[in-house]
């Protein structure tokens, strides 16, 4: 692309070996903040407008797991493993008074297990091996992947299907393999190629799922062990 039509040159002249004055840098950074914030709001609005019923359906499925006395098992890689852990702690340690602690197990949280399986039989099996040991038919499995193509998640979803678990995926882009797989009961896809925006919507989604699940289980509050 010619220099005179390069849209990045004005914003980032230092990338072309030029210096930029402090005022120009400040204006560019502020513009970037506004642009990213506006894009984040737009992506969230579009997702919840188009996928609101799918979110409710997923919440009903999770509530069904807990009504059956099951647990939610969670998984993801990298930043998505953090979302998987965050999902689990929301249910294990409710921050709203009077809401019950609900069982959830983050499968990416055991470093020794992950590295042992990854070293001995391959990283594609790190979640499958744990499902074989831990999963029960009344449980549910939720996986986070910004691309929807994580091979270790897809293997785990296939194993979960064989074991009879409820399966839920949160993905981005076009949903990848997760959206096309028959091994998932529910798949919530954030239709953007921005990994950061996908993850931001995933956080908002599982916070909403947590709230909806507790609303759906409100009639059983006396039968669930409430936290302090």
Tokens of 176: 């990848």
Alpha helices in the chain (DSSP H): 7-11, 22-67, 79-92, 111-120, 128-134, 151-163, 176-180, 195-216
Determine the pLDDT at residue 226. 41
User: 106: which strand partners?
Assistant: 74
Confidence (pLDDT) at 7: 63
The residue extents of the domains of the chain are 23-223
Which parts of the chain register pLDDT below 50? 1, 222, 225-228
Query: pTM (2 decimals)?
Result: 0.86
> Please, are residues 43 and 190 in contact by the beta-carbon 8 Å criterion?
yes
CATH number of 23-223: 3.40.50.10490
Output the pLDDT for position 152.
Answer: 98
Q: 136-178: per-residue pLDDT in tens?
A: 999 999 999 999 999 999 999 999 999 999 999 999 999 999 9
Please give the Cα distance from 55 to 200 (Å, whole number).
15
Compute and round to an integer the Cα radius of gyration of the chain: 21
pLDDT of residue 134: 97
Backbone angles phi, psi at 71, to 5 degrees: -130, 160
pLDDT at site 44: 97
Please give the pLDDT value at position 2: 52
């Amino acid at each position: 692309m010619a220099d005179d039509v390069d849209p990045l040159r004005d914003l980032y002249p230092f990338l072309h070996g030029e210096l930029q004055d402090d005022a120009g840098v400040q204006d560019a950074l502020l513009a970037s903040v506004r642009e990213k914030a506006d894009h984040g709001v737009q992506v969230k609005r579009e997702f919840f407008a188009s996928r609101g019923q799918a979110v409710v359906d997923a919440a009903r499925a999770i509530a069904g797991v807990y009504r059956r006395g099951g647990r939610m098992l969670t998984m993801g890689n990298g930043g998505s493993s953090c979302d998987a852990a965050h999902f689990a702690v929301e249910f294990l340690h409710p921050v709203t008074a009077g809401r019950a602690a609900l069982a959830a197990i983050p499968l990416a949280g055991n470093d020794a297990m992950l590295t042992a399986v990854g070293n001995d039989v391959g990283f594609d099996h790190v979640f499958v091996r744990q499902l074989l040991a831990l999963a029960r038919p009344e449980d549910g499995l939720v996986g986070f992947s910004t691309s929807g193509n994580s091979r270790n998640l897809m293997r785990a979803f296939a194993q979960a299907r064989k074991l009879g678990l409820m399966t839920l995926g949160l993905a981005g882009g076009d949903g990848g393999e997760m959206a096309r797989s028959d091994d998932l009961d529910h798949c919530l896809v954030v239709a953007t190629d921005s990994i950061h925006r996908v993850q931001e919507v995933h956080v908002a989604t599982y916070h909403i799922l947590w709230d909806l699940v507790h609303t759906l289980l409100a009639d059983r509050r006396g039968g669930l062990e409430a936290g302090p």
